[in-house]
Structure 1
Amino acid sequence: MGELAVAEWTLEGVLEEMKHIHHTMKDRQFAFILGAGASFTSGIPTGQDLARKWLTDLHLRECADGRSLHQWIAGCGVGVGELNWQTAAQHYPQIFERRFEGDREAGYAELEAAMEGKSPSLGYSLLAEIIQHTRHKVVVTTNFDNLVADALAMHAHQSPLVVAHESLAGFVRPQMRRPLVAKIHRDLYLHPINDPAGVSTMEQGWKIALKKLFQYFTPVVVGYGGNDGSLMDMLMGLEEGDIAGRMIWCYRDGSPPPEKALGVLSKHRGLLVKIPGFDQFMLQLAAKLVTDFDVAAIAERTAKLGQERAVRYRDQASKLSEDSLTGSPAEQRAGEVLTQSVRSGQSWWAWEIRAKAETDFEKRNRIYLQGIKRFPNSPELAGNYAIFLKNSLKDYDAAETMYLKAMELDPLDPTYVGNYASFLAHQRNNYDAAESFYKKSLELDPNNSANIGNYATFQADIRNNFGKADELYKKAIELDPKNVNNFGNYAIFLKSQLKEYDTAETMYKRTLELDPSNAGYTSSYANYLSDQRGDYNAAEELYKRAIELDPSHADYIGCYANFLADQRKDYDAAEKLYKKALELDPQNANNVGNYANFLEDQRGDYDAAEKMYEKAIELDADHASNKRNYASFLENHRKSPM
């Protein structure tokens, strides 16, 4: 990588080397150097995101001649001609200085708002485990947030010494009794260093303290872009041999370290390693360094401190496991480590993790059954098994039995009642009973935003009570402004029912800000851009993105096939995708009907079209568009209308 000679190792090789050092060199410790990338999955925007937002603000404020944002950036005077949308992070200090010139406090307030209420991600929780249970207790960070300290507190670990100002740098020593967090750009509430001069230089106290530290600690860089001069110049200024061991620089695919970082690594014989992400790396590292590492045990301890925090931990770990099933090899390995790290079967969640990690549905079913046999009184396991039976196996009778069991075990939990209401509405078409259970769930918890949002969808799709649905969606979003499903479903409702396209687009954008990896809403937004905005290039990019996120989902492939047929007139590519969608899900009545329509209109193959129409009606006799299209087909080509 680059012209400088820097060794690059595999992730597995680096992890094994760190494990070897941990067990054989008791006098060697690791110090984690964290940047903004480590905090992204905790909901804190990266430097790139903030810089781009502020450029947008400046464009609105300063550009009076109608130039586009990208045209204006090229001549805005920041970055001496080197600034563009892609390099915004490299010019973060200059952009901050320009955006908040004359009112720096407003800049600090905006940073506080961006970090307010954010909780540590799974990766920070695992870092806390490493800090607590090993000798590797030092974190050096350019971030202003408190996620390391929060993660330690969340798991009832020893509180760290947080050195958040250069005047306290003298307290940073190699021999410490407690964990250390060194904030070299200060704390969020102590006038964080954001200006070009401050970011490019390091105060002498920090230089002295860090030089002493790195003589005993091997730096492990994670989520740090290396774009500020202070730390990079300090590291470059160290003599060869001033850093213990070989510095390790982790980077993500598409975000290689800058030339200055390569110079530091070359000088100090450091290593490069590509990782799938901060959370995945910390999961695998904890499994290597922490004795008897057991993620389930961490969750159970967290539950004692507060059930809400435990649920968050479980949800993130489960999502990581699910994402790994179709992710990159490195992401799949992270999922394997997660499953292997659930050593005991002493909690219901251990069985849940094992089940979620199994791609074979028959094997997953057996795992659930074993877990339920081991924990017959777990409403959580019964409720999750019901969802699996409904969504994956389509065994609605067995699913209903599990929904009822979960409610019997915990009749006061509004989640199980609300889930059963949705099941009755969408799988049983028992609308009156469904509404009764929706109302019961809201009696149990009037502020449960998930149930309110689902009830809103019921009012919109089943009752056609659009006014009530709109009221419920707004209430659900107000109660929980981070619930992705409520934003996404509201966007679809605004587009399809109220025809409020501008507001719908706002909701779509907010949905994908909250969860950029949500394939369903990505595909739905693509439909919106194609059908309502006529922005076919942007729509196609999102169709491809949805399929990339979930390549085995027939609906997203079918939507892209429709787009290729209707907008691009690329009939061969469209037919290839229709066939692929039907291979993945032969029972999808919508895709079968769309392919029938394609065969009729584009191929003129009426015999094949008729067979497809018949199959679509057989699969779903109430599908309105399929019934209408088949009747038209018979009228036009068979002279025998339905």
Structure 2
Amino acid sequence: MLDESRILPLNLFLNTMREGCQNEKRYCFILGAGASKTSGIPTGEELAKQWHEEILERYTQQEIQQLKKRLGVRKTKPSSKAYFDLYALRFFPDYHNGSAFLERAMEQAQPSLGYYPLAALLASTENNLVITTNFDSLVEDALFIYTQKKPIVISHELLAQYINFNTRRPIVAKIHRGLFFGPLNRAEQVNGLSEQWKEILREAFKRYTPVVIGYAGGDHSLMDFLKDTQKLNGLYWCYRHEEPPAEIQKVVEQHDGFFVPIEGFDEMMYLMGQKFGYEDPCERIKRVAEQRVTHYQEQVGAFQAQLRAMTDPSEDQSRILRALDENQQAKLQRLNRSLELDGEDGQTYRERGMLFYQANEYQLACHDLTRAAELGTEDSQLYLQRGNCCYYLGQIEEAIEDYGRSLEQEENSQAYRNRGLMYMQKQEHELAISDFTHAIALTPDQQILYTLRARAYCINGEYEKSQADCGRALELGLPSAEIHTVLADALENLGQDEQALQNYQKALQLDPDYERAYNNRGVFYLSRGQQEAALADFRKATRLKPEEALYHANVGSALNELKRWKEALTSSNRAIKLNSKLAVAYQIRANTYEGLGQKEKAAQDQQTYETLNREAPQ
């Protein structure tokens, strides 16, 4: 008989949990098969019943008795406790068939609605640990779908040592292993926990109070550990309808815990989400999906542009380009026919505009997207894509305007990011920083956003903020040449010369052809009086990106320092030919003319420099 003094109504438990979190108490979740049922995965009891029927169909009573004796099986009455014995009988002698059966059973499973609040809690609070006997990937899938957090997934006991409870990253500990790591399915495999898991769980339960959901305690691994371990820091055991067996009651009493009656995993987690104020995730999912589509389309467009620009593409590259062209042509013909039948179909104009965008036909794309908007088929993504078209057409102001319209329709990280890039081109760095900050608020785990804001901070003279953003970018993903170059620029301006040079070197180790790292290191060398080293770096930058006027101007600056006036004049002239609005090139050439004794030309270039500087955005 269940002790009523140990029963907590669900609402009371959820209030207690929320208040505990506010008081820095940490909870973890122990999930069993019952938490996966509404996601389309059979429970252990359901699988036991299925296997029991299949065993009866396949074998005679005599064969079953012989198999039971051979395998040491005792429990065959279908129940969650008989799961392991029935698995052994059903799939002997080739347990790879059992693994394949489970793969098929879990293949199409999708996280049910209860996994959203669970994922949100794991990602946004210090209640970031799930311990599960399940093999499925529902928790990881939910984190991918609903949050920006990538979890630490421990799918084998040999990986348990890599759990770090000080991280804010979600942790999924699969004590019976993951589906693709030789899951533990037979009684002898779950006859006690491995020492690796025991050590980790002891440490976990010092920090977290466990909340058990959907776990029936049918194994001799986790259940025996809960029986034998020292007293836990509380324990909440959720159960549905039927009174938990005496074995579980004893464990809860042993740890001075409570039972929480629930209707099911989804119902409980949904109410928990309400308590913690988690909003409906549908709009965010839709926005992320649209951004992924846009990102893919941009990649396709850039890929095509790269292939078209090649003077001597390989046969494989030519084949890819032909396939892309043929696919787009077929779509284009279909859309053209649709518009012939109905010239007022805004959705078709929108679709054709997107197709033109992918094909790098930005003028045509702009026309169709504009027509779609006129016909009432306007949305955030339409203006985002039209803004991208304007950017590629060199229409920076129009691009900024369209990104603004996109954001009026719906806030999205990509529009903020792209508008920030436009502001960077206009040298309006405070506006760029503001947009990158908004983008980060919407998608806080995107490495590129911190990298872009770090660069904007650095140009704006906010070097410590730039350094901090570079550090965050490095935490979020693999190191890149760009991140280390921006970090080096910030460190240089903070007077940390040795660390700055180390980061320029790291950048070039990661990408030996990253021209900006050579150019910026050249600026560093030149400011420290190392003209020859600076000249070598500037020349390397011009060889890697010969169309960049600034790099040629910097070559001229280094040659001026070395009093190699004629060579400096050649480099300055080249810079001005490439970009007649580059103010600094005129100043460098003015210095060159001074060195050559041509005072009048020097004065003219100095005047041009000052005029361009006044006209430049502040």
Compute the TM-score of the two structures, normalised by the length of structure 1. Answer: 0.44
Bigger radius of gyration among the two? 2
Compute the TM-score of the two structures, normalised by the length of structure 2. Answer: 0.46
